[in-house]
A and B are shown apart, each in its own frame.
Chain A
Amino acid sequence: MSEVSHRAEEAPNWILVHPAYQQMKSLEVEDSAQVHAAFLVYMDLSEVRQWKEVSCVKSPELQVVLLEGREKEGAPIQTVFPLPTHRPLSHQSIRHVLDRGFPMLLCAVASDSTLVYQRMTDGLVTPDPPTGPFQDMGRRQHRKRRKQQ
């Protein structure tokens, strides 16, 4: 009995012993909150969304852990920038990640581990046009407008 409880106390946190986490740790990024966030995003991409070839890399300019991966087999590589929500973000750092040349996703990691992905692209990207079918509203709309005026 005491043996079991003793072992339970000694059993380390599963994250710390995870090989992916240990790989990120070896990149020697000082911001441990960011490394933790990167691990959570890694798990989401690889296990939940089943992305392929997910790997971690260090950004020298930003001193953070970035992730790379493919959404599907044969899809292009994308860069994911994990960031805890309490850390500041600058346009400069976004540009650094975009300069790597791959499509970029920012992933904001909240304190309750909620993950939100935001697509970021260089340049001016026209939004999608409204989808049809387009219907002439007819006289009802016209009458409504006239009444309002």
Chain B
Amino acid sequence: MTDHKASVPAQTEGMEQDPPQVVGVSDSAPPQVVGVSRCDSAPLLWRDQDLRAVRVRGLVGALLGALPRTPRQNGRLGRPLLLLPEEERLLTELHATANANQGGGGVQLSLQVKQHLEEQERSLEEQRVLALQDRKSALLHAMTSSHTGSLGPSEALRGRLEALHRSFTFPRGAMAVQLSTARAGLHHCHEDRAFLRAQQPITVQHDFLRAQQPITAQHDSKAAARYQVFRDLRGRGFYLTSAGKFGGDFLVYPGDPLRFHAHFIAVVLSLDSSLSPLDVLAIARLGSNVKKTVLLCSPGGVQYPGGAGGVQYTSLQWSGMV
């Protein structure tokens, strides 16, 4: 039922002369437009083919979703795929993203949400009634089993039952919710879901992203620097993921992260920003301990014949001088 497209990315020819180009999909297959959903400002991909298309372009992202059949673990996660801001921006510049939240999804969706909440309330009431009944019968059983045949404690029993009825609460957390783990929903008949249909690529680029949220000037220049480094390294064929665990900006892999360990921890900084030598030593030491080279990346300063600005790289290595 699932169609497995084994797509292999093809390098565009004549790359040696030009500044590093972004790797595109081969000309034989039409470039694919992926549907990006937004949760607040986070760009998410939900559809199987979108995740595959994005991986073929050399973008990794991060899976966020829980898997219903294997709950309470973070080892293996499922869809949706969260894109890095740099990944989303790259796709947008290639006209490869479409807004998946368009076209009437708003009204229909809010109606569905309202129905779902009403169902939940009904289920809660039902469960509350059943739970109270359960407790009363348990109380009755406990009280009468020890006083077989005698009529004495019936007054006390009635009092207890009434007290129970008055003070009984059924918290929301105690409600049982049924989840369907059958393969349905997004995977099944996924093409029919109107709100997932994504056809028109977004043509408004850089400013569209800026208009979404207020960004301070400092954050903006740092984000721009990160994007330039991301694009340059991606253009050289590396795969990049975020490097929060190692105190850097990106982890740089020579190929798909499923097959290789990262070679570099990329730290993005502007040419003139000043660091303490101790910070440089600290991150270099960390890199040596995990067998990765720390890469100081600064956009600017390198000019290519085409006029595009390049990125300067400095590798930090173990000196071996003790």
Enumerate chain A interface residues (CB-CB to B < 8 A). 49, 83-92, 94-95, 98, 105-106, 108, 116-128, 130, 149
Enumerate chain B interface residues (CB-CB to A < 8 A). 75, 254, 263-264, 269-278, 280-281, 284, 287, 291-293, 295-296, 298, 301, 312-321
Docked pose: A90 CA to B293 CA in angstroms: 19
List 9 A-B residue pairs with CB atoms under 8 Å apart, sorted by A's residue number: A88-B276, A89-B276, A89-B280, A92-B271, A94-B296, A118-B316, A119-B318, A126-B293, A130-B291
Question: Known contacts A117-B319, A127-B293, A130-B291: does B314 contact A95 (CB below 8 Å)?
Answer: yes
Q: Across the interface, do A117 and B321 meet the contact criterion of CB distance under 8 Å? A: yes
Question: Which of B270, B273, B291, B314 is close to A127, meaning CB atoms less than 8 Å apart?
Answer: B291
Q: Across the interface, do B272 and A92 meet the contact criterion of CB distance under 8 Å? A: yes
Q: Which residues of B contact A127 (CB under 8 A)?
A: 263-264, 287, 291-293, 317
Docked pose: A106 CA to B314 CA in angstroms: 12
Docked pose: A99 CA to B187 CA in angstroms: 56
Known: A118-B284, A121-B315, A125-B293. 9 other contacts (CB 8 A): A49-B321, A85-B277, A89-B275, A91-B271, A91-B314, A92-B272, A95-B271, A130-B291, A149-B75
Question: Known contacts A121-B315, A124-B313, A127-B291: does B277 contact A91 (CB below 8 Å)?
Answer: no
Docked pose: A84 CA to B75 CA in angstroms: 44
Docked pose: A130 CA to B278 CA in angstroms: 27
Q: Which residues of A contact B75 (CB under 8 A)?
A: 149
Q: Which residues of B contact A108 (CB under 8 A)?
A: 277-278, 280-281
Q: Across the interface, do A106 and B317 meet the contact criterion of CB distance under 8 Å? A: no
Closest Cβ–Cβ distance, residue B310 to chain A (whole Å) = 12
Closest Cβ–Cβ distance, residue B205 to chain A (whole Å) = 29
Question: Known contacts A91-B296, A108-B277: does B272 contact A122 (CB below 8 Å)?
Answer: no
Q: Which residues of A contact B301 (CB under 8 A)?
A: 95
Q: From DSSP, what is the main secondary structure of chain B's interface residues?
A: mixed
Closest Cβ–Cβ distance, residue B293 to chain A (whole Å) = 5
Identify the closest chain A residue to B278 (Cβ).
Answer: A85
Q: Which residues of A contact B269 (CB under 8 A)?
A: 91
Identify the closest chain A residue to B298 (Cβ).
Answer: A91
Q: Across the interface, do A120 and B314 meet the contact criterion of CB distance under 8 Å? A: yes
Identify the closest chain B residue to A84 (Cβ).
Answer: B277
Q: Which residues of B contact A119 (CB under 8 A)?
A: 316-320
Identify the closest chain A residue to B233 (Cβ).
Answer: A124
Q: Across the interface, do A106 and B291 meet the contact criterion of CB distance under 8 Å? A: no
Q: Across the interface, do B314 and A121 meet the contact criterion of CB distance under 8 Å? A: yes
Closest Cβ–Cβ distance, residue A63 to chain B (whole Å) = 15
Q: Across the interface, do A118 and B278 meet the contact criterion of CB distance under 8 Å? A: no
Q: Which residues of B contact A118 (CB under 8 A)?
A: 280-281, 284, 316, 319
Q: Which residues of B contact A105 (CB under 8 A)?
A: 319, 321
Docked pose: A49 CA to B322 CA in angstroms: 10
Q: Which residues of A contact B293 (CB under 8 A)?
A: 124-127
Q: Across the interface, do B280 and A124 meet the contact criterion of CB distance under 8 Å? A: no
Docked pose: A83 CA to B274 CA in angstroms: 13
Closest Cβ–Cβ distance, residue B136 to chain A (whole Å) = 43
Closest Cβ–Cβ distance, residue A149 to chain B (whole Å) = 7
Q: Across the interface, do B295 and A124 meet the contact criterion of CB distance under 8 Å? A: yes
Identify the closest chain B residue to A149 (Cβ).
Answer: B75
Question: Known contacts A49-B321, A119-B318: does B274 contact A88 (CB below 8 Å)?
Answer: yes
Identify the closest chain B residue to A127 (Cβ).
Answer: B293
Q: Which residues of B contact A91 (CB under 8 A)?
A: 269-273, 296, 298, 312, 314
Q: Across the interface, do A124 and B276 meet the contact criterion of CB distance under 8 Å? A: no
Closest Cβ–Cβ distance, residue B221 to chain A (whole Å) = 15
Closest Cβ–Cβ distance, residue B254 to chain A (whole Å) = 8
Q: Which residues of A contact B321 (CB under 8 A)?
A: 49, 105, 117
Question: Known contacts A91-B296, A95-B314, A127-B292: does B275 contact A83 (CB below 8 Å)?
Answer: no
Q: Across the interface, do A90 and B296 meet the contact criterion of CB distance under 8 Å? A: no
Q: Across the interface, do A120 and B272 meet the contact criterion of CB distance under 8 Å? A: no
**B270, B278, B295, B301: residue with the most chain A Cβ atoms closer than 10 Å:** B278
Question: Which of A83, A122, A126 is close to B277, meaning CB atoms less than 8 Å apart?
Answer: A83
Q: Which residues of B contact A85 (CB under 8 A)?
A: 276-278
Q: Across the interface, do A122 and B291 meet the contact criterion of CB distance under 8 Å? A: no
